A and B are shown apart, each in its own frame.
Chain A
Amino acid sequence: MLNITRRRGERVVLGDDVFISVLEVSGQTVRLGIDAPRSVRVYREEIWLEVKKENEAASLAANATLPADVPAPLQSDAGAEVTRSVPVNRAPAPPES
């Protein structure tokens, strides 16, 4: 693993477009600022790991307990079975410049 020492206000650059800034150092806590293209997903590691584990658990679960007939692609007219209206709160649009 690469080790780099940084002071408050200094940055690390990953590739050409990901910038990680040390914003604040306080005791055991470091506050980082991450400036990356929209397409780059940023997670706290523990959340990423938990979700990865649940995804793996879901994919590995025995299918004996679910209906296991040979599946057919979901038809659009059967979509009502699985199409729902769970509200998704979008973030506000970026301010116009």
Chain B
Amino acid sequence: MTTLAIESSRFGHVEIDPDTVIEFPDGLIGLGGTRYALLATEPGSPFVWLHCIDDPTLSLPVTDPSRFFAGYKVDLTDEDGERLALDDATPVDVYVTVVARSDLADFTANQKAPILIWNGQGHQVINQAPGCDLRAPLFAEVTDAAAPEPGDAGATDGV
């Protein structure tokens, strides 16, 4: 198998199966890039990297929004629906971009501009569904539940 080799600024030398390349005819909004691949860094991780093939310095972590946001859905404008020419029979993978920060509690995902991938092509669209947040916290529940540290003498407020 012939692979595409990229020298990623984030991951070093990476070999990519050409069959897994995703064409983004319009690039990502404001970032460009027309060929990307999804790279998994660790099996089972909720995060994968959308890595640009043409620009080895460009990669973004993305995740499956349904893992984090119950009931998340994507509504397209009529114009996008026509432009993308999606039919109902085609399964579409949906991802949202993730901004990783040093503290898990500060991780956010962009519900407003999901990335749709099907049949080897990808498009970032503006989601018309109500209630979408540009910076939706990914671990709000996790960090809330974990707030009182074991042995934290101060965590005794009786709500």
A89 proximity list for chain B (CB < 8 A): 73-76, 129
Q: Which residues from B are CB-within-8-Å of A87?
A: 73-74
Total interface residues on A, CB under 8 Å, equals 46
Which chain A residues border B152 with CB–CB below 8 Å? none
Contacting residue for B88 out of A58, A74, A90, CB 8 A: A90
Sorting the interface of chain B by its residue count into under 10, 10 to 19, 20 to 34 or 35 or more gives: 35 or more
User: Could you tell me the distance between the alpha carbons of A56 and B60 in the complex, rounded to whole angstroms?
Assistant: 8
B140 at the interface (CB under 8 A from A): no
A96 CB within 8 Å of chain B = no
* A66 to B124 CA separation, bound complex (whole angstroms): 23
Residues from 42 to 78 in A contacting B, C-beta threshold 8 Å? 42-43, 47-59, 61-74, 78
Q: B40 to chain A: which residues have CB within 8 Å? A: 71-74, 78, 81-82
Roughly how many angstroms separate A78 CA and B45 CA in the complex, as a whole number?
Answer: 11
Complex contact A61–B38 (CB within 8 A): no
- Docked-complex contact B39 and A73, CB < 8 angstroms: yes
- The reply to whether A55 and B65 form a contact with Cβ atoms under 8 Å apart is no
A86 touches B112 (CB 8 A): no
Q: Does A3 contact B (CB under 8 A)?
A: no
Q: Given A58-B60, A58-B97, A82-B38, list of 14 further CB < 8 A pairs?
A: A39-B83, A41-B26, A54-B110, A55-B124, A63-B100, A65-B100, A67-B47, A73-B20, A81-B44, A84-B67, A86-B72, A88-B116, A90-B84, A94-B82
